[in-house]
Amino acid sequence: KLLNKTQVNSIFVIFWIQYVTHGVHFGGLPEATTPQIDSALIDRLIQVESGGDPTAIGAAGEIGLGQIMEATASNPGFGVAGIDPATLTDPTVNRQFTTDYLTGLSDHYGGDLEKALAAYNWGAGNVNQQGLDAMPASTRSYIDSILNV
């Protein structure tokens, strides 16, 4: 069955709206503007942060797989919903928060995963105020250990 002119126009309008508002091209696939925060990346981050130990407590009080500070859990910013810091010892909760927080940082930095990881490790304030050129060698090593597999 052929489409009538109204149906064709409706389909065109739908595609046009998707293209204009979301960068979706007529092939239907979104244009890649940010790297994917996939489970393999989160696995590498967790391995670097805690060695995969859900009970790990860092020297500064970081908790669990993603080594999340209680203050970050309560009020993460970057469009990420806060969680009860008491739940950070739950590996499922900690992993999800780690994923959400890194995604929020990546979105904040326009998909720049290097900046997002630097902010995760060194702090967003440091990245914003000092830039990546001033990051400590330990943060450079941290980023490299996660991104350069």
| Nearest C-alpha neighbor of 52 from the set 94, 110, 87 | 94
- Would residue 49 show up in a list of annotated catalytic residues for this protein? yes
Pairwise CA distance, residues 91 & 87, whole Å: 9
Pairwise CA distance, residues 115 & 108, whole Å: 9
Give the tokens for residue 19: 């293209």
| Nearest C-alpha neighbor of 106 from the set 133, 28, 98 | 98
Catalytic residue among 49, 62, 70, 114: 49
Q: Rounded to the nearest 10 degrees, how much is the dihedral formed by the CA atoms of 24, 101, 141, 64?
A: -140
User: Could you list the active site residues?
Assistant: 49
